[in-house]
Amino acid sequence: MPPILLAVDKTYPKGLMWFRRDLRVDDNAALYHALRSCRQVVCVFVFDSTILDPLPRVDRRVEFIRESLLELDEELRALGGGLIVRHAAAAEEIPALARALEVQAVFANRDDEPEALARDAGVFGALANAGVSFHTHKDSTIFERDELMTKTGQPYTVFTPYKRAWLAKVDDFFLKSYPSRGHADALAPPPEGWRAPVPSLEALGFAKSNLGTLEIPTGTRGAAILFEDFFERIDRYEAARNYPAVRGPSYLGVHLRFGTVSIRQVAGVARQLSLQGDAGAATWLSELIWRDFYFQILAHFPHVHEKGESKSFRPEYDRIQWHHGKHADQLFEAWCQGRTGYPLVDAAMLQINQSGYMHNRLRMVVASFLCKDLGLDWRRGEAYFALHLNDFELASNNGGWQWASSSGCDAQPYFRIFNPVTQSERFDPDGKFIRRYLPQLAGLSNGAIHAPWTATPVELEAAGVKLGENYPVPVVDHAEARERTLQRYAVARSKTLAKK
């Protein structure tokens, strides 16, 4: 973390604060430094057309951002500023705005995703040519890039020692809040003619989603409501987090993704509680550390996702021959639409399709099923999640899929293959989650609902279940698929052994 600025004198007459994945005023590193460094700070957010244009015209994330911007603009106005919102290619728009507003510096929080780094490199060059400084700051992780290395100066590739090092290094300094609001007197409203309402979804080329119907709270107020609720039950997180029918998770993923909550705030609370012996808080803190871990993997091993293409962290796993062709496409479609014949898998896929959210335990189950039951390339699932998850982050999504497919760093062993029926019986024992998304199976007993094909004809008829009609028969036999997977992975395994 850079040192807190203490000097009273301002370095720049005017600066531009470029909001990106940090849609809040409080504890915002770049905003704090902008306010401390400039006599006047104008704020901007750009709906980046290079990101938005490829998206489907209904996207909950775009709506979440827009709703959060309404709150951010309101808050900035109350503090004497305001928000300029543009819809353009950010790489071109930011240098143009810097020139038009005659600022001497642009401030932003870092984004280490490859496409963002390339964009920022272009912005840096354009601003430098115009004589404008570009300052970026750490804000979305506790430790980034080279801040946490092994004793030999190498990046960590195994989570457990990384976690030990993280916990040993973290202290109040790294979790300290940036008091942005205390320097808000430097905020300047958009110049005359630049002040305009946040554009509507329609103006951005999007239609309304079901975000409102789902009652997903947006903005910093929404994040605060969720965090307050989670705080009351965080001590039960360790026991509840694996059960999709239970209110166990924090549901803060989308807020961490778009910065409507500070990672320093939530990690600080979790750390304090864990130091007091709260096992639930300690487990949740571990999940936040996994997030940092995957960010630094992406930073140090960019081959896992370069030029829009993901590759295995362990290159030998790219030699696996995944199932392909027409039948593979049909299996993938069945997986996407929740028609595999395995109720827990199907309910999970219907959850993401209907809400943009999927319970973490289920993310592991459906990922394992795609790779190790259907024999399909993990990258197909990675891309599907990237398109549908409200809380999609490239580093965590790539890391999670590589973990499930055994191709990543510190991944589960290739021979560990989740049994979707066993997972269902263990983590949704009463079938409550399954019944929520597959009401056609609601009449089945708790014993049969996890594997309807094992029910007797009498029970199926009594429950109104017609396999192959109102619910599909399994697209694969798990035991047979497991054997095929072990054979498929043999090529990677032999390559690994040859290196030893």
Structure tokens at 137: 């700051």
Does residue 360 carry a catalytic annotation?
A: yes
Does residue 194 carry a catalytic annotation?
A: no
Closest CA to 342 of 246, 248, 405, 418: 418
Q: 471 burial class (0-12, 13-18, 19+ CB within 10 angstroms)?
A: buried
Whether 105 contacts 11, CB under 8 Å = yes
Q: Which of 18, 166, 284, 290 is catalytic?
A: 290
Q: Which of 166, 335, 401, 403 is catalytic?
A: 401
Q: Which of 287, 316, 425, 459 is catalytic?
A: 287
Distance CA 19, CA 32 (A): 12
Whether 411 contacts 157, CB under 8 Å = no
Cα separations in angstroms, 335 against 41, 67, 344, 391? 49, 32, 12, 20
Does residue 401 carry a catalytic annotation?
A: yes
Closest CA to 292 of 177, 147, 433, 171: 147
Does residue 284 carry a catalytic annotation?
A: no
Does residue 403 carry a catalytic annotation?
A: no
Is beta strand 12-19 parallel, antiparallel or unpaired with respect to 38-48?
A: parallel
Whether 108 contacts 138, CB under 8 Å = no
Closest CA to 211 of 429, 438, 59, 408: 59
Q: Which of 378, 382, 397, 403 is catalytic?
A: 378
Does residue 109 carry a catalytic annotation?
A: no
Q: 387 burial class (0-12, 13-18, 19+ CB within 10 angstroms)?
A: middle
Q: Which of 147, 238, 322, 453 is catalytic?
A: 322
The string of DSSP codes covering 288-322 is HHHHHHHHHHHHH-GGGEETTEE--SSGGGGG---
Q: Which of 353, 360, 419, 446 is catalytic?
A: 360
Would you please indicate which residues are annotated as catalytic (active-site) residues?
Answer: 287, 290, 322, 360, 378, 401
